[in-house]
Structure 1
């Protein structure tokens, strides 16, 4: 099927949809990009492809996704990458952004509308707060590249709603369904596209005692942090055996459950 408007989503777990579980979909996730696509595809002529795969670092996104992205000739492209690099023990942001700039400019040169994301402010996220300075430097580089490429910026860093941890999944790394829904609504606003997405009401904030919080932190470390650290040490990724969810354009219908 030929589409006159083509939305292409690129990057890592953020764009793949991790945290927004949907067992009926490829890789068993839905995510903000699917939700945006459902809205766009409600209008005639829109197609959607998503090449993002969890765990990918910037160099991998560039080497594995740029060439197929150019072949897909998008009219709208979104790009988020770099978080998996920033979380490493050592990182040279300047070198990291050389690859980022290469990919952003190549996408912009296609004539597509390009949307880039700043990184999330981890200042209130406990163990990951140490990466806050790195992310701030990364964000300034993203904004400079956006200016050069004529791209639009989705400023995740400044969207303070996401500081509410009720928008996050149990792994504390990815947004949950409510978070992905809010992100989809934000992205459509940035794109100046009328949104019919209804962001769900959050559950009441639970009152947790100090002892209970310690137990929850210990359970989280065992279930999520230790496997994550092990993958870092062994050079493996949760996305090593996965393929792109939508490698070719599809017309994505809205899910029955919002």
Structure 2
């Protein structure tokens, strides 16, 4: 089960994937894995990429964000495959400009810009067995949201019981700096698009079906996404 932000606990990640990470990041990653809820499937067309960022451009785009409530550090872009840097690409679709399309099979999130163009972001997605697909919409938005662990997680990991009333927003909060909550027919689906501070998660399946963008990318998307924005999650 997933609660308040759509990210839950679950099986441990491979030890090799966690080697060398800080305790805070290990805790954050442990929150990302859990059980998922299935949704209906839907498919759309693919895309053709244009030239992307250089490493120097990426260091600027993913540099520190000091004016935030909790200043965000720069991303270590050496830990991100350049194909996952933000870029404008060709994307043919009948969806309206502003629509968000999640492509978990390729670890991308697109914001449709119109005229056959889209902004593309690298993402982490649900791990194998926890992928879902279907239509949804942004029913709620939050900056530095509170995260509440599910009761099932508290039973398995008593150390998180101190957050039963909600973990305040901050750099160690699993939901990060921004969150888009996905709804269907007026009900929260338990899934989110959230901000990740873990560059090594981008291009990997590590969550319970939620979708994470680098914090700088998530802020970029969040500012351009009003409530009721349509979200299409493609089958993996």
Normalized per residue, the structure richer in strand is 2
Larger radius of gyration: 1
Normalized per residue, the structure richer in helix is 1
**TM-score relative to the length of structure 2:** 0.22
**TM-score relative to the length of structure 1:** 0.21
